[in-house]
């Protein structure tokens, strides 16, 4: 029979930290800690292999595992000198999930399992504390009722039936705190809970501990497939086939009195990366109380005052674990009657800033080498490090302060629920989720929100951990907040804020402001520069930026861009003083009047280009000639139409008719890109002239220029064959007149399937290819980005697609076309320069693809340049590893 159960306890373990795939992260690390001699309550792990069997529902787990589980249970009973179901000396256990990849709070947990009407008395006698025993019992029945028997609130967000009964009981007795309920109160509550279960699911609460155990095991495995877990996996790209393990472990109690505690700690600061022990604890509490944020915990340093010995031991254990695992650890511990027990250790989730600082510090401390530091980066998280923070000079009124749970500034409209957050975000609002505390049910709302603010919780509460994981600013424990979700408002002192009001939070300071704060660029720590130095030594791919203005270009250079891969000229047209000229150009009936109207734009474009050349100082600048369909420039409001009519000497009716005439059924597939220039060559002529004149003027000012002119939306090689000489003629005349020698390239954007398929013929007329993967994805899939919102989320949720192809390059379909394009192109011109300038240029997996396919560069938005640099370095490292 295969081995499905791995035991740990009393310094011996069947498994080890290397078996995360089989035992899950929690199980593997419990085994490892046990073997290291660290105090871990004895227990055992049921492997992830069982998960698939449990989920398909066709295997009877007890038949499969029964004997292995019985044996393991017997051993932990021995070690704890108790027995499962024994009325005098009962063994109580926890049943917890634990997947190979951490999914905190996503799956179910059952604590205090083994209690029933008999064993609860044994527990009371054993501990001499009837109140404690019944408190454990009522928690267990409620937890079991919810998790295993499915007795839950009918609507998400409502209180559970058990919570309602608890509130009722407190009212009845006349107390406000749970801890003021007596043992008798709690006993009658247990009865009420059992009645509620029987009424709701028409099955009694099982008194048999073995039945309890199997019920819990099945449910915890089953929770792998619950909605939250599925959503989380999708969000984090976790394969749903890996499954979870289940850990059954002897209970230890942090809630047995004043000499007990429970807490969570990090070996370094997960928000900033600074060294120093970091964490929180609660005296006389169970672990869930810390994470759920119901009570606001104390700073871990205070533990040294209350229980100096246990605290010292914890510090020693923490340091040992960090050194052993070679990374920042996130620990869960319980102190039962002054004795320390470790319940979990795992690699600590951290903010982007902490990710960089910890890795660089650990290289300095000799824990890891530089390549490991690079490999450890989650490129997407670098984003947060670079984003702006609140400008200290322009802070709006400070209204409250909480804990700085996840750094960064967030400005958004207040919403009070997760669904609300999602709905508002879907219609384009930037929202800030405000809650008393968050729970796993709120994940989708947190994802939709730009930041999170909670009245309760702490630095390690659900809201804090999840927000840090998502890289969203978060402030917790903001006690001044009085939230009324029903009225959809919150009060701070006398001020009232309603649904939709704008506020700002600073997750680095815990400050909350009314209205919109001004922002300044992030101040980036030295560690960032150090890391990027290592990265640049390793990578082969060049990283450019998509920038339409000198400002963007400057930002990108600060982030390490090595050129501009995409400068969209149409964005230069939308400025109010230019748009009217563009519109007149579009409405012009004759070539002459079109050229005239467009000539007004020439000097403006020339100045734009000059500014960009000045910033780029000789780095390559790829300028894409006009791409969007003309109707995008036309006005929609009556006032604008009237203005245009007046300016162009037409009637409004006439202007309206022309707007209607220019409208397209499928603008994505319409009269755009080089098709416009085929109809109206003067458009590209004027742009080419502006570019050439800007280059000449820049050179005269001593500014070096490296110009690459890009023709978009080619589907037929002859388009390029026709347009290239048109552009070169204009540029050459300007250069010759100025007696300037300037080599420049003319290339094309490959963004249509046909362009990939005839890339060889296209390459005859192109000096470079830049893959426009946004449009290429749209056409390859037949999927309009503007319309996909109606069904793409469904596809992802139901696993029809693993990833959003607009975020992560589809290697199978779009990638196959790109491969054909590169091969054909390079077959004609061996040294053809190849790059990418779609959104994918700043996404790690897509950058790796480009590395593998031999691209010369990737280009992405300024803030993603560091991401691309790191991803390029990681791709190079993986490439080396493969070729070894």
**Residues taking part in catalysis:** 462, 837
Cα atoms in the 13 Å half-sphere on the side-chain side of 220: 30
Token digits of residue 82: 């108790």
Token digits of residue 272: 């900033």
| CA atoms of 308 and 328, how far apart (whole Å) | 23
Q: Which residue among 665, 739, 743, 831 contacts its own copies (CB under 8 A)?
A: 665
CB closer to its own copies, 501 vs 664: 664
| CA atoms of 581 and 175, how far apart (whole Å) | 74
CB closer to its own copies, 560 vs 670: 670
Q: Which residue among 21, 104, 396, 813 contacts its own copies (CB under 8 A)?
A: 813
Q: Which residue among 45, 546, 779, 874 contacts its own copies (CB under 8 A)?
A: 779
Question: Three-state SS string across 373-438, please?
Answer: HHHHCCHHHHHHHHCCEECHHHCCCEEEECEEEECCEEEEEEECCHHHHHHHHHCCCCEEEEECCC
Q: Is residue 11 a contact partner of residue 34, using CB atoms and an 8 Å limit?
A: yes
* Closest distance to its own copies from the beta carbon of 751 (Å): 8
Which region among 219-227, 239-247, 326-334, 674-682 touches its own copies (by CB under 8 A)?
674-682
Helix (H) or strand (E) holding 431: strand 431-435
CB closer to its own copies, 438 vs 824: 824
CB neighbours of 419 closer than 8 A, spacing ≥ 6? Answer: 156, 444, 445
How big is the CA angle at 503 (ends 469 and 554), to the nearest 5 degrees?
70
* Closest distance to its own copies from the beta carbon of 828 (Å): 15
Q: Which residue among 675, 689, 808, 833 contacts its own copies (CB under 8 A)?
A: 675
CB closer to its own copies, 479 vs 718: 718
Q: Is 784 in the site for its own copies (CB under 8 A)?
A: yes
Q: Which residue among 754, 829, 852, 878 contacts its own copies (CB under 8 A)?
A: 754
Comparing CA positions, the residue from 296, 263, 294 lying closest to residue 280 is 263
Which region among 75-83, 375-383, 423-431, 812-820 touches its own copies (by CB under 8 A)?
812-820
CB closer to its own copies, 751 vs 856: 751
| CA atoms of 397 and 513, how far apart (whole Å) | 6
Q: Is 782 in the site for its own copies (CB under 8 A)?
A: yes
CB closer to its own copies, 433 vs 759: 759
Cα–Cα distances in Å, from 884 out to 848, 880, 881?
Answer: 18, 6, 5
With H, G, I as helix, E, B as strand and everything else as coil, classify residue 709.
Answer: strand
Cα dihedral 99, 103, 105, 110, rounded to 10, equals: 0
Which region among 216-224, 286-294, 364-372, 708-716 touches its own copies (by CB under 8 A)?
708-716
Overall residue count recorded for the chain in this entry: 884
From residue 358 to residue 387, what is the string marking binding to its own copies with x (rule CB under 8 A)?
A: ------------------------------
Q: Which residue among 670, 740, 828, 845 contacts its own copies (CB under 8 A)?
A: 670
CB closer to its own copies, 27 vs 673: 673
Which region among 124-132, 388-396, 607-615, 711-719 touches its own copies (by CB under 8 A)?
711-719
Q: Which residue among 427, 636, 790, 831 contacts its own copies (CB under 8 A)?
A: 790
Question: Which residues is 44 bridged to in the sheet?
Answer: 7, 248
| C-alpha radius of gyration, the chain, whole number | 32
Number of residues that bind its own copies (CB under 8 A): 47
DSSP one-letter string for 823-838? HHHHHH-TT-EEEE-S
Cα–Cα distances in Å, from 751 out to 171, 628, 780?
Answer: 67, 13, 10
| CA atoms of 841 and 566, how far apart (whole Å) | 11
Q: Is 548 in the site for its own copies (CB under 8 A)?
A: no
Strands 93-98, 245-250: pairing is antiparallel
Q: Which residue among 101, 230, 499, 678 contacts its own copies (CB under 8 A)?
A: 678
CB neighbours of 714 closer than 8 A, spacing ≥ 6? Answer: 673, 674, 720, 748, 749, 750, 752, 755, 762
* Closest distance to its own copies from the beta carbon of 428 (Å): 14
Question: Which residues is 409 bridged to in the sheet?
Answer: 506
Residues of this chain, 792-811, that bind its own copies according to CB under 8 A: 794-795, 798-801, 810
Q: Render the burial of 566-579: b for 16+ CB within 10 Å, e for the rest.
A: bbbbbebbeeeebb
Which region among 278-286, 349-357, 525-533, 783-791 touches its own copies (by CB under 8 A)?
783-791
CB closer to its own copies, 196 vs 775: 775
* Closest distance to its own copies from the beta carbon of 678 (Å): 6
Q: Is 853 in the site for its own copies (CB under 8 A)?
A: no
Residues of this chain, 91-110, that bind its own copies according to CB under 8 A: none
Q: Is 757 in the site for its own copies (CB under 8 A)?
A: yes
CB neighbours of 227 closer than 8 A, spacing ≥ 6? Answer: none
CB closer to its own copies, 541 vs 759: 759
Q: Which residue among 153, 524, 588, 668 contacts its own copies (CB under 8 A)?
A: 668
| CA atoms of 551 and 616, how far apart (whole Å) | 11
CB closer to its own copies, 453 vs 720: 720
Token digits of residue 523: 């101040």
Q: Which residue among 253, 713, 849, 857 contacts its own copies (CB under 8 A)?
A: 713
Residues of this chain, 412-431, that bind its own copies according to CB under 8 A: none
Strand ranges across the sheet with 339-347: 298-299, 275-283, 261-268, 329-336, 339-347
CB closer to its own copies, 325 vs 795: 795
Q: Which residue among 551, 642, 816, 881 contacts its own copies (CB under 8 A)?
A: 816
Q: Which residue among 423, 669, 740, 796 contacts its own copies (CB under 8 A)?
A: 669
Q: Is residue 102 a contact partner of residue 25, using CB atoms and an 8 Å limit?
A: yes
* Closest distance to its own copies from the beta carbon of 667 (Å): 7
Q: List interacting residues with its own copies (CB under 8 A).
A: 664-671, 675, 678-679, 713, 715-716, 718-719, 722, 751-754, 757-758, 775, 778-784, 786-787, 790-791, 794-795, 798-801, 810, 812-814, 816-817
């Amino acid at each position: 029979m295969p081995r499905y159960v791995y035991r740990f306890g009393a310094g011996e373990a069947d498994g080890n930290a290397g078996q995360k795939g089989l035992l899950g992260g929690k199980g593997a690390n419990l085994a490892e800690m046990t073997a290291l001699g660290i105090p871990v309550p004895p227990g055992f792990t049921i492997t992830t292999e069982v998960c698939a069997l449990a989920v398909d529902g066709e295997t009877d787990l007890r038949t499969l595992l029964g004997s292995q589980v019985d044996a393991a249970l017997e051993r932990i009973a021995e070690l704890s000198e108790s027995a499962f179901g024994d009325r005098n000396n009962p063994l109580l256990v926890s049943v917890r999930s634990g997947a190979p990849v951490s999914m905190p709070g996503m799956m179910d947990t059952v604590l205090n399992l083994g209690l029933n009407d008999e064993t609860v008395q044994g527990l009371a006698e054993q501990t001499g504390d009837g109140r404690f025993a019944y408190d454990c019992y009522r928690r267990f029945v409620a937890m079991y009722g919810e998790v295993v028997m499915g007795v839950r609130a009918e609507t998400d967000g409502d209180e559970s039936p058990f919570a309602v009964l608890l509130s009722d009981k407190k009212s009845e007795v006349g107390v406000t705190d749970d801890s003021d309920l007596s043992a008798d109160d709690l006993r009658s509550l247990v009865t009420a809970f059992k009645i509620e279960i029987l009424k709701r699911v028409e099955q009694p609460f099982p008194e048999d501990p073995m039945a309890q155990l199997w019920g819990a095991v099945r449910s915890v495995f089953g929770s792998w497939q619950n909605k939250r877990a599925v959503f989380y996996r999708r969000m984090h790209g976790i394969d749903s086939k890996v499954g979870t393990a289940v850990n059954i472990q002897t209970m230890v109690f942090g809630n047995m009195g004043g000499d007990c505690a429970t807490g969570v700690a990090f070996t370094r600061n997960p928000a900033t990366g600074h060294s120093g022990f970091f964490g929180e604890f609660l005296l006389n509490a169970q672990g869930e109380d810390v994470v759920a944020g119901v009570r606001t915990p104390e700073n871990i340093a205070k533990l040294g005052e209350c229980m100096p010995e246990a605290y010292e031991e914890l510090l020693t254990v923490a340091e040992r674990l960090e050194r052993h695992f070679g990374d920042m650890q996130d620990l869960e511990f319980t102190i039962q009657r002054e004795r320390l027990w470790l319940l979990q250790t795992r690699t600590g989730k951290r903010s982007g800033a902490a990710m960089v600082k910890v890795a660089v510090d650990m290289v300095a401390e000799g824990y890891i080498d530089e390549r490991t530091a690079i490999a450890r980066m989650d490129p997407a998280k670098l984003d947060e490090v670079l984003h702006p923070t609140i400008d200290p000079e322009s802070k709006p009124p400070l209204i409250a302060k909480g804990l700085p749970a996840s750094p960064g500034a967030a400005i958004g409209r207040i919403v009070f629920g997760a669904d609300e957050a999602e709905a508002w975000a879907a219609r384009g609002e930037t929202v800030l989720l405000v809650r008393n505390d968050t729970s796993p049910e709120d994940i989708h709302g947190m994802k939709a929100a730009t930041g999170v603010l909670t009245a309760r919780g702490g630095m390690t509460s659900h809201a804090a951990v999840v927000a840090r994981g998502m890289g969203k600013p978060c402030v917790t424990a903001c006690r001044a907040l009085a939230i009324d979700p029903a009225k959809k408002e919150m009060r701070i002192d006398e001020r009232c804020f309603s649904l939709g009001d704008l506020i700002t939070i600073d997750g680095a300071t815990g400050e909350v402001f009314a209205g919109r704060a001004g922002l300044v660029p992030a101040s980036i720590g030295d560690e960032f520069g150090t890391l990027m130095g290592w990265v640049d030594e390793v990578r082969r791919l060049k990283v450019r930026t998509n920038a339409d203005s000198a400002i963007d270009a400057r930002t990108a250079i600060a982030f390490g861009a090595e050129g501009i891969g995409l400068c969209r000229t149409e964005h230069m047209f939308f400025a109010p003083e230019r748009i009217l000229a563009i519109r007149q150009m579009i409405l012009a009936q004759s070539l002459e009047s079109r050229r005239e109207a467009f000539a007004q734009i020439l000097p403006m474009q020339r100045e734009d280009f000059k500014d960009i050349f000045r910033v780029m100082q000789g780095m390559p600048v790829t300028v894409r000639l006009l791409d969007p369909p003309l109707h995008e420039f036309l006005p929609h409001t009556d006032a604008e139409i009237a203005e245009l009519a007046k300016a162009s000497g037409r009637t409004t009716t006439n202007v309206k008719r022309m707007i209607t005439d220019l409208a397209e059924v499928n603008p994505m597939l319409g009269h755009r890109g080089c098709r416009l220039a085929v109809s109206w060559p003067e458009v590209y002529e004027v742009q080419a002239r502006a570019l050439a004149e800007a280059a000449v003027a820049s050179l005269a000012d001593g500014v070096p220029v490296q110009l690459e002119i890009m023709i978009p939306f080619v589907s037929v090689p002859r388009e390029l064959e026709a347009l290239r000489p048109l552009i070169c003629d204009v540029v050459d005349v300007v250069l010759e007149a100025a007696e300037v020698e300037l080599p420049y390239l003319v290339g094309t954007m490959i963004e249509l399937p046909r362009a990939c398929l005839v890339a060889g013929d296209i390459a005859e007329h192109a000096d470079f290819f830049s893959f426009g993967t946004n449009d290429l994805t749209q056409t390859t899939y037949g999927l309009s980005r503007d319309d996909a919102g109606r069904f793409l989320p469904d596809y992802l949720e139901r696993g029809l697609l693993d990833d959003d192809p607009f975020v992560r390059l589809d290697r199978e379909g779009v990638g196959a076309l790109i491969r054909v394009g590169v091969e054909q192109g390079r077959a004609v011109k061996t040294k053809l320069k190849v790059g990418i300038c779609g959104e994918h240029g700043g996404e790690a997996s897509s950058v790796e693809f480009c590395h593998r396919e031999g691209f010369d560069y990737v280009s992405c938005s300024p803030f993603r340049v560091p991401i691309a640099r790191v991803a390029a370095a990681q791709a190079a490292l993986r490439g080396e590893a493969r070729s070894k």
